[in-house]
A and B are shown apart, each in its own frame.
Chain A
Amino acid sequence: MAEISFWFVISMTVLSATAVVLSNQLIYSAMALLFTLFGVAGIYVFLWADFMAGVQLLVYIGGILVLIIFGIMLTNRISSVRLSQTNVQQGVGGAVAIWLFILISMVVSKTPWFTADAVEPTGTVAEVGTLLLTKYLLPFEAISLLLLGALIGAALLSRKEN
């Protein structure tokens, strides 16, 4: 059962990611991105990262994807339908992407990765929180400043000047 659901999640992620980059309609791409992000959250669950799966659902699907759909609705003219969503570099882009995939696959399969045995934790929230406030306190504070800056910048950029 776990095996079936694992391969279901993997195939859903990969197929919908393919739809994201190949779909002609921008809004279909956004919908496919929804399923990709869901699939990645499922992969996190299989990797015992329950907190990361929750954050993925909240931030990516609840925040970033909604933002992207807002962007699509604000910038798409319904009247002018353009069929071609891709530029002329599709062949070159495909070749480079396949070359990158082959390169990464060779690195992945030929490297003897360090692995260690582990028992499944009951929850990861406490440990992640402890790490964030002890070992990674400086990155945590820096990223909160960056988020504040990004918020102010986005608000400044997108408001109407008069």
Chain B
Amino acid sequence: MHDLNTYLFVAAILFSLGVFGVMTRRNGIAVLMGVELILNAANINFVAFSRFGGMNMDGHVFALLVIVLAAAEAAVALAIVINIYNNMNTINVDEASALKE
């Protein structure tokens, strides 16, 4: 119905927005949301190439592994963020810059 480039452009937009969020947000959780956008853009590319490369299922498996990685990353990152909040009382990444108290 649509060609491959449409999906690749959408993924490029999502990726650029995610990079923008990671670079400009101060809040640690908002940075994490930017990372999720980037991972979703990569996943769209995997599934789109799989669909337009003759419905090859390998791309689906890769996207599945990426989703699992994203879940693990979100769990660990939020645990770290909550620890930083407990220790430094802020989760703004430009204020929480000390390596030890």
Using a CB–CB cutoff of 8 Å, the interface residues on chain A facing chain B are: 2-3, 6, 10, 13-14, 17-18, 20-21, 26, 29-30, 33, 36-37, 40, 43-44, 46-49, 51-52, 55-56, 59-60, 63-64, 67-68, 70-72, 74-75, 84-87, 89-90, 92-94, 96-98, 100-101, 104-105, 108-109, 113-119, 121, 124, 127-128, 131-132, 135-136, 139-140, 143, 146-147, 149-151, 153-155, 157-158
Pairwise interchain contact A64-B15, C-beta atoms closer than 8 A: no
Contacts A21-B18, A40-B44 hold; do A157 and B76 have CB atoms under 8 A apart?
Answer: yes
Prevailing SS type, chain B contact patch: helix
CB distance from B12 to the nearest CB of A (A): 4
A124 to B64: give the CA distance in the assembly, Å. 12
Pairwise interchain contact A128-B60, C-beta atoms closer than 8 A: yes
Q: Which of B7-42 contact A (CB under 8 A)?
A: 7-10, 12-21, 23-27, 29-30, 32-34, 36-37, 40
A28 to B77: give the CA distance in the assembly, Å. 20
Q: Report 10 cross-chain contacts, Cβ distance below 8 Å, ordered by A residue.
A: A14-B10, A47-B7, A49-B51, A63-B71, A68-B32, A85-B26, A85-B30, A93-B20, A118-B52, A157-B76
Q: Which residue of B lies closest to A158 (CB)?
A: B79
Contact of A59 (CB < 8 Å), options: B7, B18, B71: B71
Contacts A40-B43, A84-B26 hold; do A47 and B70 have CB atoms under 8 A apart?
Answer: no
The number of residues on chain B lying at the interface, defined by a beta carbon within 8 Å of a beta carbon of chain A, is 69
Going nearest first, the 3 A-B pairs with the smallest beta carbon separation are: A116-B54, A150-B72, A21-B21
Residues on A with beta carbons closer than 8 Å to the beta carbon of B68: 59, 143, 146-147
Pairwise interchain contact B19-A118, C-beta atoms closer than 8 A: no
Pairwise interchain contact B15-A104, C-beta atoms closer than 8 A: yes
Residues on B with beta carbons closer than 8 Å to the beta carbon of A51: 60
Interface contact tally, CB-CB below 8 A:
239
A144 to B60: give the CA distance in the assembly, Å. 17
A93 to B37: give the CA distance in the assembly, Å. 16
A2 to B1: give the CA distance in the assembly, Å. 9
Pairwise interchain contact B47-A52, C-beta atoms closer than 8 A: yes
Q: Which residue of B lies closest to A23 (CB)?
A: B30
CB distance from B3 to the nearest CB of A (A): 8
Pairwise interchain contact A131-B57, C-beta atoms closer than 8 A: yes
CB distance from A157 to the nearest CB of B (A): 4
A97 to B9: give the CA distance in the assembly, Å. 14
A150 to B68: give the CA distance in the assembly, Å. 11
